[in-house]
Amino acid sequence: MEFFKAVNVSKQFQHHVALDRVSISLPKQSIYGLLGPNGAGKTTFIRIINQITAPDSGELFFEGEKLRPRHITRIGYLPEERGLYKKMKVGEQAIYLAQLKGIPRHEAIKKLKHWFEKFDILNWWDKKVEELSKGMAQKVQFIVTILHKPDLLIFDEPFSGFDPINVNLLKDEILTLRKNGSTVIFSTHNMASVEELCDHIALIDNAKKILEGNVKEIKNTYRTNTYRYVVRNMSDHPQTILPNGIQLLESTQDENLTTLILQLQHNDKPN
């Protein structure tokens, strides 16, 4: 069943075209990846879905109805730019944000303490936000985003700043949310996360949708003769050391490890 649809959505800021007639279709209870480099238009698109920014043209539909302000209560949004009030106590701020979503205070406290314990941050309940590490603060915002059980969840680069253990924790929770009925939009520039989590993807680049479809089908179509390598302490840019016949599809850096996605332009495996 089609849960959310955008049709020919465009947005321009002065002389900069942020989105150019972008259309997507989300199946219900799926994880949908918005993939593309920084500046491609992903965040603008997400802000339009959240009704923070209005499109110049195009239409958006939520369960068959035109997207309206009343639908915002059914959406949970974790933006890339995190923001908490640093001088407030962690628990009080989480309660305040939960109440903004319509959850009564006593119910919010019960639910929040359950999630704080699950994410191993309950001991920080009475601390000030400014005492939290970046990862802890992001856990708080993730919890507040999902607490009111929205039908549509939107995560913009949710793993930014997390160590591998907490990345896996969030991935497991996102998969559980999908299993329990949520539809998820997951925005990232990291193809590895998309392949691991998403059922469907759209690739956006230079304000345009380049492709859209089922992840497995797209991989079969575009990833023939593709290999993944992890290199330690790489000093040179990978593109400068690759021989002819091997194309660099993606390069990601995590401390001293560089992950390369390479595609052969012929049928021989790399040495």
> How much of the chain, in percent, has pLDDT values that exceed 90?
62
What number is the average pLDDT over the span 43-48? 95
Q: Give kind and range of the element (H or E) at residue 228.
A: strand 226-232
Q: What is the pLDDT of residues 151-185, one digit of tens each?
A: 999 999 898 878 888 999 999 999 999 999 999 99
What number is the average pLDDT over the span 218-233? 73
Q: What gap in Å lies between CA 57 and CA 80, rounded to an integer?
A: 25
Closest-CA residue to 49 (of 161, 186, 157)? 186
What number is the average pLDDT over the span 18-45? 93
Q: What is the pLDDT of residues 61-75, one digit of tens each?
A: 999 999 999 999 999
Q: What gap in Å lies between CA 52 and CA 183, rounded to an integer?
A: 20
**Higher-pLDDT residue of 1, 104:** 104
**Beta-bridge mates of residue 194:** none
* Residues 186 and 31: beta-carbon distance below 8 Å: yes
The correct answer on CATH 3.40.50.300 for the domain covering 2-222 is: yes
Q: What gap in Å lies between CA 78 and CA 182, rounded to an integer?
A: 15
The pLDDT of residue 207: 94
**Beta-bridge mates of residue 75:** 152
Token readout for 223 is 């990833």
Q: Which residues contact 61 (CB under 8 A, 6 or more apart)?
A: 4, 5, 6, 7, 67
pLDDT band per the 50, 70, 90 thresholds, residue 239 = low
Buried b vs exposed e over 73-109: b needs ≥16 C-beta within 10 Å? eebbbbbeeeebeeeebbbebbbebbeeeebeeeebb
Res. 267: pLDDT tops 70: no
The pLDDT of residue 175: 95
For the chain, the average pLDDT equals: 89
**Most trustworthy range by pLDDT among 113-127, 162-176, 217-231:** 113-127
